[in-house]
Structure 1
Amino acid sequence: MIDPGLIDMIMRLRGRGISDNAVLKAMELSPRKHFVGESLFEAAYDEQSLPTSCGQTVSPPLTIALMTQMLELTPEHKLLEIGCGSGYHTAILSKIVKRVYSVERYKQLIREAEARFKTLGITNHVIRHGDGRYGWGGQAPFDRIILTCALRAEPAMLIDQLAPNGKLVAVVDDQLTRYSKARKKVTVETLFPLQVPMIEAGKSKVL
């Protein structure tokens, strides 16, 4: 069944500079309304944050699309997501890469996300309960890493978990930033201002 709100969202994202067809297709195949409460269905595709459990939020579609596009994903990439949250971003990533590794600090969010994934038939993911600031050393290295929460400083420990030619995308000091690793050298690109809530002890913003 055609979802007019979803189609409008995809067209809006194209108009705002999202040109990666894989990202747009993944977002089309992952309707945002499946990741918010029924009372929020009417606002599901609006360009705004929406509340989810544990005092967290589902970020605006453009924020998610921009960060995903900056990863420059291909199907063979091994990807680590810091902050599964509602599972919305995880679902999008799962449509582009073979497997998504995700770290989430709230057990309730993990349970709710897994229930959504079961309903939607999403199986190419693994979620670990823990503090995402430390990454997932047992599964490193990763070709791509994305942080769904803002940081005040460079995530050195996570950069260390990048594979050669790997990329990490995060909001650092209110700037969308991409770290690219070539052998032992890391290149830093500050792309443009972007605000998402800051990660704090015991708290995190999740997409």
Structure 2
Amino acid sequence: MEEIERRMQFVFTLRSNGVTNADVLKAMESLNRENFLEGIFQERAMENTPLPISCGQTISQPSVVGLMTQALELHRRCKVLEIGTGSGYQAAVLSRLARRVYTVERHMRLARRSRELLQKLGLHNITVVHGDGSKGLPEQVPFDRILVTAAAEDPPQPLIDQLRVGGIMVLPVGQSHAVQTLLKVTKTEEGINYAELGSVRFVPLVEGIEHDVLD
């Protein structure tokens, strides 16, 4: 009963923070965030807070994951690109709502761990790529949706170029040391539309790749 109550509280917290899409709530309720954390942080999995993971990165707080996912307006035919795999949690949520998810991680250690975990969880519509996310994934264009989980000063042009007309990109923008703005970018025949969704704080989007020592 305690586990059921914890999940109910988890969903209530998401709703209280503006995550109202039923499909997004169902997807997040179906995934145990504990699987994407390690050590002492696993017992804090149901908290609505960012937590540390390997390579100096973080797993985003659940309400931010929910709001970003909700803003993408996903449907089952969507082909999605995620920049910044991290723990794999956001990719797992996306995989419940989209046809195909490609996720790019610059840290080799995180990419390998996430790939193994997502396979273990049976989420076979996710492809984890170790690469430079700032360049997107040109070999798989175009994408219906793009989600960036690291902050750039402006929406990167390579990612806008890889978005299908009619597509949506959600990303944090702003200086890494200041409060950032969550931005929803919609690509239309006439041009690019921008909508601000609120204040967030993410690690900065960094160019290049890291060949971390694997443990």
Flag whether TM exceeds 0.5 (same fold): yes
Instruction: Read off the aligned partner of 2:9 and give its amino acid letter.
Output: D
Give the corresponding residue for 2:51: 50
Distance in 2 between residues matched to 1:55 and 1:64, nearest whole Å: 19
Give the corresponding residue for 1:183: 189
Distance in 2 between residues matched to 1:35 and 1:6, nearest whole Å: 16
Distance in 2 between residues matched to 1:179 and 1:195, nearest whole Å: 18
Q: Deviations over 1:4-52 (max 9, x none)?
A: 3333111111122211111111101111111001422221111211111
Pair 1:140-2:132 in alignment: no
Structure 1 residue runs without a partner (length 5+): none
Q: Deviations over 1:133-179 (max 9, x none)?
A: 00011101100000000111221110111101000000011111011
Q: Secondary structure at the match of 1:138?
A: helix
Q: Secondary structure at the match of 2:139?
A: coil
Q: Is the 8 A contact 1:85 1:104 kept in 2?
A: yes
Instruction: Read off the aligned partner of 1:185 and give its amino acid letter.
Output: G
How well do the aligned residues superpose, as a CA RMSD in angstroms? 1.7
The alignment covers a number of residue pairs equal to: 204
Q: What displacement does 1:201 show?
A: 4.7
Q: Which residue of 180, 192, 197 corresponds with 2:198? A: 192
1:105–1:3 CA distance, 2 compared to 1 (3 A): farther
Q: Is the 8 A contact 2:83 2:136 kept in 1?
A: yes
Q: Is the 8 A contact 2:85 2:111 kept in 1?
A: yes
Q: What displacement does 1:55 show?
A: 1.4
More divergent stretch after superposition (193-202 vs 174-183):
193-202
Give the corresponding residue for 1:120: 121
Distance in 2 between residues matched to 1:125 and 1:192, nearest whole Å: 28
Q: Identity of aligned pairs, percent?
A: 39
Distance in 1 between residues matched to 2:43 and 2:128, nearest whole Å: 29
1:196–1:82 CA distance, 2 compared to 1 (3 A): same
Give the corresponding residue for 2:82: 81
Distance in 2 between residues matched to 1:6 and 1:53, nearest whole Å: 26
Q: What displacement does 1:203 show?
A: 8.5
Q: TM-score, normalized by length of structure 2?
A: 0.89
Q: Secondary structure at the match of 1:121?
A: coil
- Displacement over 6 Å in runs of 4+: none
Q: Is the 8 A contact 1:6 1:31 kept in 2?
A: no
Instruction: Read off the aligned partner of 1:85 and give its amino acid letter.
Output: G
Give the corresponding residue for 1:12: 13
Q: TM-score, normalized by length of structure 1?
A: 0.93
Q: What displacement does 1:197 show?
A: 2.1
